[in-house]
A and B are shown apart, each in its own frame.
Chain A
Amino acid sequence: MANIKISEQKVLQIEAICKEFNNEKGELINVLHKTQSLVGYLPAEVQEIISKNLNCSLAHIYGVVTFYSFFTMIPKGEFPISICMGTACYVRGAEKVLDEFKRILNVPVGQTTPDGKFSLSCLRCVGACGLAPVVMVGEKVYGRVSPDGVKDIIKEYKQA
């Protein structure tokens, strides 16, 4: 078993979600959606609980989880960092900003730092193209970010 342990209460809640969809195999995607919004991600242990309740093979569930990019088996960091890769941000150097985040945090896109503090992801347009390139940390928006500015943003949260 994966070394993540989820609480008894969460287990009951996941079972309740399955039941809400009548433990129907065909409702797998809905069950996964609701479960991910409850737990934040879909670790192996969670998939096992769903497998038992929907009477659906674990391999199939894992197949669905790995097929859709919305589902993730990796917990988001305490401070989720998203770099906008929309057209405006991209042409104004978002990729260089992303590279700098990857270099400093030493994690690829879609992963979380080992201390659980930061996770790195890309998104498409937050509607603030005038501030391109845009970075979001949690709900907070940073505009006109340059590669040089990346370390300052990280520093802000390192101390938090």
Chain B
Amino acid sequence: MINIKIDNKDLKVAPGTTILDAAKSVGINIPTLCYLHLHDFDITNKPAGCRICVVEVKGRRNLAPACATDCYEGMEVSTHNIRVLNSRKTVLELILSDHPTDCLICPKSGSCELQTLAQDMGIRQIEYQGEQSHYKEDTSPAIIRDVDKCIMCRRCEMMCNEVQTVGVLSAVNRGFMSVVAPAFEMNLDHSVCTYCGQCVAVCPTGALTEVDHTNQVIRALADPSKTVIVQTAPAVRVALGEEFGMEPGTRVTGKMVTALRNLGFDYVFDTDFAADLTIMEEGTELLDRLTRHLNGDKTVKLPMLTSCCPGWVNFFEHQFPEMSDIPSTARSPQQMFGAIAKTYFADKLGIKRENLVVVSIMPCLAKKYECQRDEFATNGNPDVDFAVSTRELAHLIKQANIDFNILPDQDFDKPMGESTGAAVIFGTTGGVIEAAARTAYEIFTGKTLEKVDFKQLRGMEWIREATVDFDGTPIKIGIAHGLGNARKLLQDIKDGKSEFHAIEIMACPGGCIGGGGQPLHHGDTSILMARQKAIYSEDSGKVIRKSHENPYIQTLYAEFLGKPMSEKAHHLLHTHYFDRSKPVEIDE
């Protein structure tokens, strides 16, 4: 341990501790802007570029960035003397002098870290007036880049390159002209962007935001000729409460249903229903491949990869198109829901699909892109009309003057609102494969699964592996979250080194609970841990916890689909993938 002094407080810290962390341990919060530390994932961004965290170190000529300066024996630090405060204020004013001041109408207003900093530091005027940099706005199907609001913190670049290894964003040009952009400054929709939205999740300002579909939803709700139904993804119910001041990890399923009903949705359904359906299809596909493999069929493709994550689908279509026969052909729960809603349910209501509007509430930005894909539409009418994020739902609720906190709990509508515990765990890393294991075990062995909790599949480690005993047959399972980790498992498969039978992949750190459309965590990963815990307690509170036991799923097969992997199921619930390793297109 080494002895240091911060603001006249003596303390002992371990060698290698930064001034920032040392100060935090004694209750001194040095302000930061570019710095980001995702503790539970061991991800750090500290380019020391913004200089907001500068402090004075006795004996050092210039001020030191606290985030990137290690403590040494005898160090004396001052975090708020006049010199530090003046410098910090100058730095902030210089950043603000090249930043639009349209806070009132900025989509990030209220959750912008730059705005908060300016507030905290009491900035009332900007002394520096000069030229401002201007750059084209880039709107893709899911993400908007408003680069004028970029402060070059490089957090998005770190997520895109180091965590996700997608490699779309990089700092380009230099000096006043420098921006974060894709190669050749093409628009995102021409790049290999997966729309995972992790750049949006960490952007401190309004430079990266989601495409907002709330107005379209409001218009649909107001149209008397339309029947508007809604589905909610599993991860939304454990995060939405945060937007209304609740503790992270608060489960608000019942309040969310009531709020959606109050908003005017004709039927409030659950994506979890479709998650159960996904297990029926994907689980059957896995068993089919497994059985053929165990019987010595050399043509069968193993491991089978899950396919519910649209960011992940985009990733392999762009970067590993030659392996697109390995993932399951099962559509994602969002799209299964849409396909069943616009056929089976529309028929039940006796209305045309054009008059049924399907809205989904998703923790995800890639879902916005997914529902716009051509293959998920019939005669130009999409199976899912609009995908809105958890954050957008919070805005909708606030606009409708609903006091979320005092809402009573209500239940989802039938039939597409009924789900099992297996479905709700789709919202966290490890959940899809656990849900699949619960059903596959019973079908494969013909026995009842007594212990439904597969604890060995749970956790937050980037890559996890476990062997599940199917009554004497060991099934090897791999799990990866974060696309960089998915890449590692994919490379192993490519090199013929993979021994897994099945692999679950989710693009976002933590799975959907950490999705790009969730309430912003501002770098506090304990929030993700709390959401994960909430997902598992939602599961254990359910009476039915295996997808194939969902009575409404059983009815759906009996009345409409026949059996899993039937021709009708193939047509409505499965998909095919495209080679999108397209050559570079340069925008004019």
Q: Is A104 an interface residue (CB 8 A)?
A: no
Q: Is B13 an interface residue (CB 8 A)?
A: no
Please determine whether A59 and B174 come into contact, CB atoms closer than 8 angstroms: no
Please determine whether B585 and A59 come into contact, CB atoms closer than 8 angstroms: no
For the complex, give the distance between the alpha carbons of A60 and B170 in Å: 5
Q: Is A129 an interface residue (CB 8 A)?
A: no
Q: Per-residue 0/1 for A42-68: is the Cβ within 8 Å of any B Cβ (1 yes, 0 no)?
A: 001101100000000111111100110
- Contacting residues of chain B (174-199) with chain A, CB-CB under 8 angstroms: 174, 178, 181-185, 191
Q: Is A160 an interface residue (CB 8 A)?
A: no
CB contact between B161 and one of A2, A44, A57 (< 8 Å): that residue:
A57
Residues in B whose Cβ lies below 8 Å from that of A1: 583-586
Given A59-B170, A60-B161: A2 touches B183 (CB 8 Å cut-off): no
Closest partner residue, chain B, to A73 (CB atom): B184
Q: Is B169 an interface residue (CB 8 A)?
A: yes
- Kindly provide the distance from the CB of B306 to the nearest chain A CB, expressed in whole angstroms: 26
For the complex, give the distance between the alpha carbons of A59 and B584 in Å: 11
Residues in B whose Cβ lies below 8 Å from that of A61: 183
Residues in A whose Cβ lies below 8 Å from that of B174: 66-67
Q: Is B167 an interface residue (CB 8 A)?
A: yes
Count the A residues whose beta carbon is within 8 Å of the partner chain — how many?
15
Please determine whether A47 and B173 come into contact, CB atoms closer than 8 angstroms: no
Grouping DSSP codes into helix (H, G, I), strand (E, B) and loop, the A interface class, with mixed when no group exceeds half, is helix
For the complex, give the distance between the alpha carbons of A127 and B428 in Å: 68
Q: Is B168 an interface residue (CB 8 A)?
A: yes
For the complex, give the distance between the alpha carbons of A59 and B183 in Å: 4
Residues in B whose Cβ lies below 8 Å from that of A44: 183-184, 584, 586
CB contact between B169 and one of A45, A47, A48, A59 (< 8 Å): that residue:
A59
CB contact between B172 and one of A2, A45, A48, A62 (< 8 Å): that residue:
A62
Please determine whether A62 and B161 come into contact, CB atoms closer than 8 angstroms: no
Given A47-B183, A59-B167: A66 touches B585 (CB 8 Å cut-off): no
Given A1-B583, A2-B584, A44-B584: A59 touches B173 (CB 8 Å cut-off): no
* Interface residue range, chain B: 20 to 34
For the complex, give the distance between the alpha carbons of A1 and B173 in Å: 21
Closest partner residue, chain A, to B585 (CB atom): A1
Residues in A whose Cβ lies below 8 Å from that of B161: 57, 60
For the complex, give the distance between the alpha carbons of A56 and B168 in Å: 11
Please determine whether B172 and A66 come into contact, CB atoms closer than 8 angstroms: yes
For the complex, give the distance between the alpha carbons of A57 and B172 in Å: 13
Given A66-B174, A67-B173: A59 touches B586 (CB 8 Å cut-off): no
Residues in A whose Cβ lies below 8 Å from that of B584: 1-2, 44-45, 48, 58
For the complex, give the distance between the alpha carbons of A69 and B173 in Å: 9
Please determine whether B172 and A59 come into contact, CB atoms closer than 8 angstroms: yes
Q: Is B171 an interface residue (CB 8 A)?
A: yes
Please determine whether B170 and A63 come into contact, CB atoms closer than 8 angstroms: yes
CB contact between A58 and one of B171, B173, B183 (< 8 Å): that residue:
B183
- Kindly provide the distance from the CB of B174 to the nearest chain A CB, expressed in whole angstroms: 5
Please determine whether A57 and B170 come into contact, CB atoms closer than 8 angstroms: yes
Given A1-B585, A44-B584, A59-B183: A66 touches B173 (CB 8 Å cut-off): yes
- Kindly provide the distance from the CB of A93 to the nearest chain B CB, expressed in whole angstroms: 28
Please determine whether A58 and B167 come into contact, CB atoms closer than 8 angstroms: yes
Please determine whether A59 and B168 come into contact, CB atoms closer than 8 angstroms: yes
Residues in B whose Cβ lies below 8 Å from that of A59: 167-170, 172, 181-183, 191
Please determine whether A62 and B167 come into contact, CB atoms closer than 8 angstroms: no
Closest partner residue, chain B, to A59 (CB atom): B170
For the complex, give the distance between the alpha carbons of A67 and B181 in Å: 13
For the complex, give the distance between the alpha carbons of A1 and B584 in Å: 5
Most chain A CB atoms below 10 A, which of B161, B171, B191: B171
Please determine whether B586 and A2 come into contact, CB atoms closer than 8 angstroms: yes
Residues in A whose Cβ lies below 8 Å from that of B167: 57-60
Please determine whether A63 and B586 come into contact, CB atoms closer than 8 angstroms: no
Residues in B whose Cβ lies below 8 Å from that of A2: 584, 586
Please determine whether B182 and A48 come into contact, CB atoms closer than 8 angstroms: no
- Kindly provide the distance from the CB of B175 to the nearest chain A CB, expressed in whole angstroms: 9
Residues in A whose Cβ lies below 8 Å from that of B168: 57, 59
- Kindly provide the distance from the CB of B463 to the nearest chain A CB, expressed in whole angstroms: 20
Given A67-B172, A67-B173: A62 touches B184 (CB 8 Å cut-off): yes
Please determine whether A63 and B583 come into contact, CB atoms closer than 8 angstroms: no
Residues in A whose Cβ lies below 8 Å from that of B181: 59
Residues in A whose Cβ lies below 8 Å from that of B172: 59, 62-63, 66-67
List residues of chain A with CB under 8 Å of any chain B CB. 1-2, 44-45, 47-48, 57-63, 66-67
Taking A1-B583, A1-B586, A62-B172 as known contacts, 18 extra A-B pairs with beta carbons closer than 8 A to each other, sorted by chain A number, are: A1-B584, A2-B586, A44-B183, A44-B184, A44-B584, A45-B584, A57-B161, A57-B167, A57-B168, A57-B170, A58-B183, A58-B184, A59-B182, A60-B170, A61-B183, A66-B173, A66-B174, A67-B171
The 7 closest A-B pairs by CB, nearest first: A57-B167, A59-B170, A58-B183, A63-B170, A62-B183, A59-B183, A1-B583
Q: Could you pull out 12 A-B pairs where Cβ atoms are within 8 angstroms?
A: A1-B583, A1-B585, A44-B184, A44-B586, A48-B584, A57-B161, A57-B183, A58-B183, A60-B170, A63-B170, A66-B172, A67-B171
